[in-house]
Structure 1
């Protein structure tokens, strides 16, 4: 199965069908579709919270830059990598272009 590559211009949102809980500061979830469990960690959990509604990746990066002490280029690379992992597991959905946001 091939997956679209997520870029900074994408709009991402949580896919339906996940059970999510906080556990000692980490977000953990189970995919109802696959039955797999995931530990998103504190930063991954924050990203998960920020994409509860459709969010441009650029806005997601801006939010994280305001909250964490990280260089923009590193933040962008790490966010794109994390989102790609989520997309590969069908935990998020994306639109390839910024439309009406």
Structure 2
């Protein structure tokens, strides 16, 4: 099982989650765990981008183009968010 996410991986969301848009923020219910998650605005955008396998670099490219954030901060925060999603078994991490 992959423990860390790096440039050699692609990430895609796992099936079995219900997502709703609530005033611009995404809220998700995991059918397998029975947990609710508030993804927020940017987390919701990341979730949308994970509809197809994408590398962390591709996510950061897209997010820095859409939001006012420097690349280093974005990479750090996206990495933390993805690690949380991975710990919750909400995403699949594959070798690219």
Secondary structure of the 1:85 match is helix
Secondary structure of the 1:29 match is strand
Does structure 1 retain, via aligned residues, the 8 Å contact 2:2–2:93? no
Which residue in the other structure is 2:82 paired with? 83
Which residue in the other structure is 1:8 paired with? 7
Aligned partners of 2:8 and 2:20: how far apart in 1?
Answer: 29
Q: TM-score, normalised by structure 2?
A: 0.94
Which residue in the other structure is 1:43 paired with? 42
Q: 1:13 to 1:86 in 2, by over 3 A?
A: same
Does structure 2 retain, via aligned residues, the 8 Å contact 1:3–1:87? no
Secondary structure of the 1:55 match is coil
- Give the total of aligned pairs: 96
TM-align CA RMSD: 1.3
Q: Which 5+ residue runs of structure 1 have no aligned equivalent?
A: none
Runs of at least 4 residues of structure 1 off by over 6 A? none
Which residue in the other structure is 1:26 paired with? 25
Q: Which 5+ residue runs of structure 2 have no aligned equivalent?
A: none
Aligned partners of 2:11 and 2:78: how far apart in 1?
Answer: 12
